[in-house]
């Protein structure tokens, strides 16, 4: 056998060995602890949902799941950390709506979330809710629309900052209904909600889990939920869709993404574990009590959702005149 043929044979053997090693690794997945990266500080809706599901999935997968918080840059720090990690299924992103909104809000992105990350599974969806300070003389969305038209710009709408989920949910609603308020950005969802409670601002559109305690305590009045249908926790609160504004329906979500190029076997194992974990009645009850709706979508469905929402938010950002930073 000549040198050229010998080299070719050796290369083929090495390639085959590498493929066998990869397949063996995927077949034994997971062989060590997983790391889930949350793009926000501890204690928020995304973090709480992630930790609940991680606990359940660790039992299903018979391995530890370590949750790390890497906040900043509208989720980009966490996205980049995961996208640039080894695509082996051991470092994953706890993904949310920032994957769909960030590309329209930033002139430059550290990574392309639609190309550099692969969808694994959707865990839950989380509606937003239109709330008002109880001192405001409104008891419905129609009342609020009428009042803002009588006193345009006099009612303050609080958000967690320009381009935040609270802001975008409010803009989607404003564009569809003709609400005329003054946007007042705060440094985070917590301060925005407190502003509505104190009366410093009169209305807000926080996520349901973050606003629910204040609603139940009577410190905020729920006017409409930004959902296609009503939510079980607040059965008397109408949805924006039933009120005639289906295009104003806005929801957040929490799911899982992996670096692009992660082995299909690892993605499938994660997807199967998600589906099994979300069947746990105790887990479902905890999530629903927090205002989250269990919505297990597979990788293809979740990927389509993110792409569809990215196109939608691009239109909202442009129509609202929000300038990318």
* Angle subtended by helix axes 45-61 and 264-277, to nearest 10: 100
CA atoms within 13 A on the CB side of 221: 16
- One domain for residues 244 and 255: no
Residue showing tokens 């007042």: 184
Phi and psi, residue 176, nearest 5°:
-85, -30
Distance between CA atoms of residues 36 and 78, nearest Å: 10
User: Is residue 137 within 8 Å of 202, Cβ to Cβ?
Assistant: no
- One domain for residues 134 and 210: yes
Does residue 203 belong to any structural domain of this protein?
yes
Distance between CA atoms of residues 176 and 9, nearest Å: 66
What CATH number does the domain containing 41 carry? 3.40.190.150
Residue range(s) defining the domain that contains residue 225 = 129-248
pLDDT tens digit string along 151-205?
999 999 999 888 888 999 999 999 999 999 999 999 888 899 999 999 999 999 9
Which pLDDT value is given to residue 15?
40
- One domain for residues 236 and 139: yes
Which pLDDT value is given to residue 41?
84
- One domain for residues 201 and 243: yes
Which pLDDT value is given to residue 150?
95
What one-character-per-residue DSSP string does 152-186 give?
TT-SEEEESSTTSHHHHHHHHHHHHH----EEEE-
What CATH number does the domain containing 200 carry? 3.40.190.10
* Angle subtended by helix axes 299-320 and 165-177, to nearest 10: 70
Question: Total domain count for the chain?
Answer: 2
User: CA gyration radius for the chain?
Assistant: 22
Positions of the chain with pLDDT under 70? 1-27
Does residue 18 belong to any structural domain of this protein?
no
Which pLDDT value is given to residue 66?
98
- One domain for residues 236 and 274: no
65 forms beta bridges with 34
- One domain for residues 52 and 93: yes
Q: In what order do the strands lie in the sheet with 156-159?
A: 182-185, 156-159, 203-204, 129-132, 221-225
Answer with the one of 248, 283, 300 that is the final residue of a domain: 248
DSSP annotation of 115: T
Does residue 181 belong to any structural domain of this protein?
yes
Q: CA torsion 56→58→60→63, rounded to 10°?
A: -170
């Amino acid at each position: 056998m000549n040198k050229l043929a010998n080299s070719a044979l050796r290369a083929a053997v090495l390639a085959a060995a590498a493929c066998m090693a990869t397949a063996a690794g995927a077949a034994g997945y997971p062989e060590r602890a997983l790391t889930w990266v949350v793009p926000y500080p501890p204690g928020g809706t995304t973090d709480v949902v992630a930790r609940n599901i991680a606990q359940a999935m660790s039992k299903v997968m018979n391995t530890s799941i370590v949750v790390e918080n890497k906040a900043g840059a509208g989720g980009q720090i966490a996205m980049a950390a995961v996208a640039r990690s080894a695509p082996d299924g051991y470092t994953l992103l706890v993904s949310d709506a920032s994957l769909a909104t960030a590309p329209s809000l930033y002139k430059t992105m550290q990574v392309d979330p639609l190309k550099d990350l692969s969808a694994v599974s959707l865990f839950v969806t989380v509606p937003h809710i239109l709330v008002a300070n109880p001192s405001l003389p409104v008891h419905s969305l129609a009342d609020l629309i009428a009042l803002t038209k009588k006193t345009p710009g006099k009612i303050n709408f609080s958000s967690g900052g320009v381009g935040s989920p609270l802001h975008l949910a409010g803009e989607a609603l404003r564009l569809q209904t003709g609400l005329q308020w003054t946007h007042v950005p705060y440094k985070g969802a917590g301060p925005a909600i407190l502003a509505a409670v104190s009366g410093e601002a009169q209305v807000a559109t926080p996520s349901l889990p973050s606003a629910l305690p204040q609603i139940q305590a009577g410190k905020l009045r729920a006017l409409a939920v930004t959902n296609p249908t009503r939510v079980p926790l607040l059965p008397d609160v109408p949805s924006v869709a039933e009120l005639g504004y289906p295009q104003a329906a806005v929801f957040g979500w929490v799911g899982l993404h992996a670096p692009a190029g992660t082995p299909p076997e690892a993605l499938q194992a994660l997807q199967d574990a998600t589906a099994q974990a979300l069947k746990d009645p105790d887990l479902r009850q905890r999530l629903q009590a927090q205002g989250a709706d269990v919505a297990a979508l597979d990788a293809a469905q979740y990927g389509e959702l993110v792409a569809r929402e990215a196109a939608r938010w691009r239109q909202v950002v442009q129509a609202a005149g929000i300038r990318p930073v």
